[in-house]
């Protein structure tokens, strides 16, 4: 796992056509907006979170974010322990995100 600043996180995600942007926030948080192209797996989903992680392609690189960077860091650690070795945590999460946001 690597903790990356917004600029590095976004640049690396855009350079990798196989990269997956993963949002681990709750549904209520997602309603406030999300990073374009994100896949959603709620960190607080318990067994559903683990099942969602286990269903991911272990060969891909994941760019993970949450509200502040804390849950996404924990999610990266869990992903690493479940065989996904290429994870990158967005430092500061959505609270510090200055890039594009999709709002439904």
Total-model pTM? 0.96
Instruction: Give domain status of residue 101, yes or no.
Output: no
The whole domain housing 91 covers 2-96
Give the per-residue pLDDT at 7.
96
Q: What is the CATH number of the domain that holds 55?
A: 3.40.250.10
- Number of structural domains (the chain) is 1
Instruction: Give domain status of residue 75, yes or no.
Output: yes
Instruction: Give domain status of residue 37, yes or no.
Output: yes
**76, 24 Cβ separation under 8 angstroms:** no
Instruction: Give domain status of residue 35, yes or no.
Output: yes
Q: Give the burial string for 43-62 (b: 16+ CB within 10 Å, else e).
A: bebeeebeebbeebeeeebb
What is the tens place of the pLDDT at every residue in 15-72?
999 999 999 999 999 999 999 999 999 999 999 999 999 999 999 999 999 999 999 9
């Amino acid at each position: 796992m690597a903790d990356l600043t917004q600029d590095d996180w976004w640049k690396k995600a855009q350079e990798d056509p196989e990269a997956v942007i993963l949002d681990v926030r709750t549904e209520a948080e997602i309603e406030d907006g999300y990073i374009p192209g994100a896949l959603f797996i709620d960190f607080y989903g318990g067994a559903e979170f683990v099942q969602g992680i286990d269903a991911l392609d272990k060969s891909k690189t994941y760019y993970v974010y949450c509200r502040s960077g804390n849950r996404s860091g924990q999610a990266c650690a869990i992903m690493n322990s479940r065989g996904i070795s290429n994870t990158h945590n967005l430092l500061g999460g959505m609270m510090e995100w200055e890039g594009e946001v999709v709002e439904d």
